[in-house]
Structure 1
């Protein structure tokens, strides 16, 4: 299943809907976090008009979201 190319704004909105909260922004990167099962999940999203597929896969891995779930919900 091929991942769609999306903007960082759309990715931030999607992650916010999944319970992630913006922690800080440094330069062109935004750090989000989410507490889950007494653990903190950190995700870094670059501010880009279009996030590359490799970077998108890395963000999904960090946030523990499957590719199939993401494509279905986006």
Structure 2
């Protein structure tokens, strides 16, 4: 497993869009995204903490290596 990078919420959304996710809506400072039946909630913070990013990727069914490769 690769080490997760420090990224912003906007970067997480952009990378997930490259991986085929679509932005459904934004509720406050959180973006709701979906690819097929898998969905995830991305906090739009200036820096998403590593543990939070790991949780988002787990929700989305995306491996850290796959995420890093799509950056």
TM, length-normalised to structure 1: 0.85
Match of 2:35 in 1: 34
**1:52 equivalent among 45, 49, 54:** 49
Match of 1:67 in 2: 64
The offset of 1:2, in angstroms, is 2.0
The offset of 1:33, in angstroms, is 0.8
TM, length-normalised to structure 2: 0.88
Which structure would you say has the larger RCO, counting Cα contacts within 8 Å and 6 or more residues apart?
Answer: 2
Gap regions ≥5 residues in structure 2? none
Higher strand share: 1
Matched residue pairs, number? 70
Q: What is the root-mean-square deviation of aligned Cα atoms in Å?
A: 1.1
Gap regions ≥5 residues in structure 1? none
The offset of 1:73, in angstroms, is 3.0
Q: Is the 8 A contact 2:18 2:70 kept in 1?
A: no
